[in-house]
Amino acid sequence: MRIATWNVNSIRARVDRVVDWLVREDIDVLAMQEIKCKPAQFPIEAFTAAGYEVEIHGLNQWNGVAIASRLPMSEVTHEFAGMPGFAKKAPVPLDPEAPGTDALGYPLEARALGATIDGLRLYSLYVPNGRGLDDPHWHYKLAWLEALRADTERWLSENPDLPLALMGDWNVAPFDGDMGDPSFSVGNSTHVSPEERAAFHAFEAAGLSDVVRPLVPEGYTFWDYTQLRFPRNEGMRIDFILASRAFADLVTDASIHRDERKGDGPSDHVPVVVDIQLEGEDDDMPMIFG
DNA sequence: ATGCCGCGGCTTCCGCGA
């Protein structure tokens, strides 16, 4: 079974590239971020024709997450408990009872989508960008990560053997080698501040691990469109698959599909893939006899 | 301090992204 995550930067602008890649790479499940549309605008027909069903969580032209799967999806959830919302200016009045708002009354954004597939609990996540170290959005980012970590800890305390994978655009470069964009300076920019890195590494204390890095130690997953960042390979590693022990034990391979940043009309992110071997699942490799 | 690119929309500029 091949599971992937990809920030597609508008599914309407990218649908042909995404579906071509799904088929070519024999992907079973794809967690997408930044679909940038509402469900009615999502080009679902192209996915259906290729044999995928799609769950979509999109509220407007910003953010938006989806999961495409060849296998049935169940227990589909939007958001997670305690997920904070955001607005540049506090809504007037702040009404926690209003639909689509958090406990303070701030509007929730479409940044998390969960589904159970073949016993695996999978999330497509789009962590807030942060914008700047003195920006309210940066505090929102930290609160959002902390709420997700608290939920993760609760899910795993209730079910320690849960095969859980949190997949997506984390907007954090956890190690110095993950940051190759010279416009970011470690300690003084978003994505590489001590606070963001601590918020990311707290998921390890909660029982998750990066299941791609041990198999793919090097490589970026994002390159800015401007300033020749891709040809100069000045990118960042910010897209991750963090998984519970039960999920990590199933992983047989992983890859970062750097070539998807090439050619006409690429996303600024590339897909990150894990291969897993489920109990009783036929190995995808052909058996060689004799 | 801004544009560089690319996206979407109450579109011909602006907000946002990382």
pLDDT per residue over A243-271, tens digit each? 999 999 999 999 999 999 999 999 999 99
Q: For the beta carbon of residue A282, count every other beta carbon within 10 angstroms.
A: 8
How many Å from the N-terminal Cα to the C-terminal Cα in chain A?
Answer: 26
- pTM for the whole structure: 0.95
Q: Where are the alpha helices (DSSP H) in chain A?
A: 11-24, 44-49, 136-158, 194-205, 245-248
Question: How far apart (Å, rounded) are the C-alpha atoms in residues A28 and A241?
Answer: 15
A272 CA to B4 C1' in angstroms comes to 27
Tens digits of per-residue pLDDT, A226-242?
A: 999 999 999 999 999 99
CA A231, CA A180: separation in Å to the nearest integer?
12
Name the residue type at position A262: K
- Gap from A112 CA to B11 C1', in Å? 29
Contact A55, A124 (CB under 8 A): no
Q: What is the pLDDT of residue A17?
A: 96
Structural domains in chain A plus CATH codes: 2-276 (3.60.10.10)
A126 noted as active-site residue: yes
Scanning A102-239, the segments in alpha helix (DSSP H) are 136-158, 194-205
* pLDDT score of A189: 92
pLDDT of residue A285: 61
Q: Indicate whether A39 pLDDT > 90.
A: yes
CA of A248 to C1' of B14 (A): 44
Q: What is the mean pLDDT of residues A111-129?
A: 97
Q: Is A34 annotated as a binding residue?
A: yes
Strand B contacted by A110 CB (< 7 A): no
Q: What is the pLDDT of residue A192?
A: 95
Q: Which residue is nearest to nucleotide B7 (CA to C1')?
A: A10
- CA dihedral for A36, A39, A45, A48, sign (positive or negative): positive
Distance CA(A78)–CA(A85), nearest Å, equals 13
Instruction: Answer whether residue A50 shows pLDDT above 80.
Output: yes
pLDDT score recorded for residue A290 = 46
Residue type, A212: V
The pLDDT confidence band at residue A281, using thresholds 50, 70 and 90, is: confident
Contact A103, A122 (CB under 8 A): no
Tokens read off for A58 = 């999109």
